[in-house]
Chains A and B, each alone.
Chain A
């Protein structure tokens, strides 16, 4: 799967989980850049992404990402 496709799918997950149609994310997007992305919604995003790609992140990974690009790296490693 290409990084672009993954980014697109993650964006859809963000829209659905954060219940906000206007969310646009890019590889460099960080939690601080999105209003609704806090430590709680982070967990919901993690679980939703896990389900979508049928993978499981380790607790170290969950805590280590600095931006969306790191997430995508992680998904690619597992895929």
Chain B
């Protein structure tokens, strides 16, 4: 991990090309170093964090005074860092008969603060949880004494998790787990705390900043979607081609345990919705055999979206995997025990994340846990089916190769789309797609579940969510439209994003036909579209021009009166 000193040196570098994100930090201890660490880490992540830091111990004043600098600054993200030391101070001050209710009262005040923040700012709130302090008043007995400080602190952490799971814009940054990893002796330096009011040691600052940055990145739509794994000495011990299937190390004995546990971890990622692919230098049939027949394998062929085992260069294989999955290289993690292969991949595909796996397989998991590669800010039930979706896509690609005529192929797919307004069932998926659509996204305005609910209940907006299924399977909800009633005549296309897994199916035409029909039936004269370029959405640069919109000063305009339906083989699902 980089040192605080290095992060600080980044502050002098040029941030001017990076995206600006406005962050407010409210702390009850000195946070200047944390601010510097975050800002410096922003450089590494190509983000220009514009940070406003509240004066020391001003949390309540800044939040409850609606004319405070906090509201004037108008941040996108508010970080609230209330330390365990101040928490202990509060606990010490109140009457002992109040100790039993301590955590509940604290939680009430946190909830209250959150609701004031969220009703007056369009910001996400990142709240740090509480690192454990055992004041050793009751010894082990604290664990069965509800009014002890340790009991109340753990209860507060637990209650915070329950609160956050019900508040879509409240995120917890788990600094308590950092203290568990590095130990309190390393997390907290008493001499520094006494002389400066800083509760984070210099050495732990980069870790706390990293954990915070993971959340900021995820909120910003930057997260990992796929993990590509090597096989020999990564997924199992030994070399399948030399040792044979009966001699690879896996299962409960000896070093095999390390590989089995690694596989279980990969399997859990797959169940969470991370795509698993294999890239191995092996003969395909030999490499597949353990997945099909070895009794101790945790991973099976059905867990793997794309399987590449051959003797070609790994960088080329990874490029092929990427093109099948149609996701950015920066959302892929590559795990390989061989430093040589890791370097080849890093050199050829710099965007990809290639962890420097430790030499001893026993250390694989602890090392990977610590990297926190798979941060996310949302989860929907659809995630669990993602592997299947990509396997179906691979099937479709095969069938497509049989048709020489594109129209014939599309007709043959027998595509159906369900068209609905936003509702409480599709809201989580809509919000999720809003966070993760980068390429086919015309304006890239990110909406959370709360935003989606607000939009769908407003009279000023018209919303459409589209699913797509065909004879091979169901892609689920793949496209979202938000129309803003700009005036009586014009509908502004506030949002148009689509999952890249349904490109080239004529979905754009189908959607346009659909919204033009709505416009005509409701007396609107024109649609107005806008393209806001980002690093990733060049694919839709000419989207509106291709669909027949006219480029005007105010954006792309389409008169709907004499509109001819565009060619589409998708039917509305009744």
Contacts and interface: CB of A to CB of B under 8 A. Distances in A.
Interface stretch (A4-12, A25-33, A36-44, A69-77): A36-44
A63 B9 contact: no
The DSSP consensus for interface residues of chain A is helix
A46 interface: yes
The DSSP consensus for interface residues of chain B is helix
A23 interface: no
Interface string B157-197: 00000000000000000000000000000000111101110
A43 B190 contact: no
A19 B192 CA distance: 22
A47 interface: yes
B195 A47 contact: no
A43 B202 contact: yes
B33 interface: yes
B4 interface: yes
A43 B198 contact: yes
B5 interface: yes
A20 B568 CA distance: 66
Nearest to B32: A40
A58 B5 contact: no
B191 A62 contact: yes
B192 A16 contact: no
A37 to B, nearest CB: 14
Interface in B1-56: 4-5, 8-9, 12, 32-33
Contacts of B190: 59
Nearest to B8: A19
A39 B192 CA distance: 11
A39 B33 CA distance: 12
A8 B192 CA distance: 25
Contacts of A46: 192
Contacts of A39: 196
A62 B192 CA distance: 8
* Residue of B12, B190, B202, B203 most packed against chain A (CB within 10 A): B202
A56 B5 CA distance: 19
A17 B198 contact: no
Contact of B191 (A19, A40, A44, A59): A59
Contacts of B203: 47
Interface residues of B, number: 18
A59 B193 CA distance: 9
A63 B192 contact: no
B9 A19 contact: yes
Contact of B33 (A16, A17, A40, A59): A40
A8 to B, nearest CB: 20
B196 A44 contact: no
Interface in B402-458: none
Contacts of B32: 40
A63 B192 CA distance: 10
A56 B191 contact: yes
Nearest to A48: B5
Contact of A43 (B8, B9, B192): B192
B8 A47 contact: no
B36 to A, nearest CB: 9
Given A40-B33, A43-B202, A16 B191 contact: no
B192 A47 contact: yes
B202 A44 contact: yes
A62 B9 CA distance: 24
B202 A59 contact: no
A48 B190 CA distance: 16
Contacts of A16: 5
B4 A44 contact: yes
A59 B194 CA distance: 6
Contacts of B196: 39, 43
A6 B202 CA distance: 23
Given A40-B32, A44-B202, A58 B8 contact: no
Interface of B: 4-5, 8-9, 12, 32-33, 189-192, 194-196, 198, 201-203
29 contacts: A16-B5, A19-B8, A39-B196, A40-B33, A43-B33, A43-B195, A43-B198, A44-B4, A44-B5, A44-B202, A46-B192, A47-B189, A47-B192, A47-B201, A47-B202, A47-B203, A48-B5, A56-B191, A57-B191, A58-B191, A59-B190, A59-B191, A59-B192, A59-B194, A59-B195, A62-B191, A62-B192, A62-B195, A63-B195
Given A17-B5, A19-B12, A59-B191, 9 more contacts: A39-B196, A40-B33, A43-B202, A44-B4, A44-B202, A47-B189, A47-B202, A56-B191, A59-B194
Interface of A: 16-17, 19, 39-40, 43-44, 46-48, 56-59, 62-63
What 3 pairs between A and B have smallest CB-CB spacing?
A59-B194, A59-B191, A47-B202
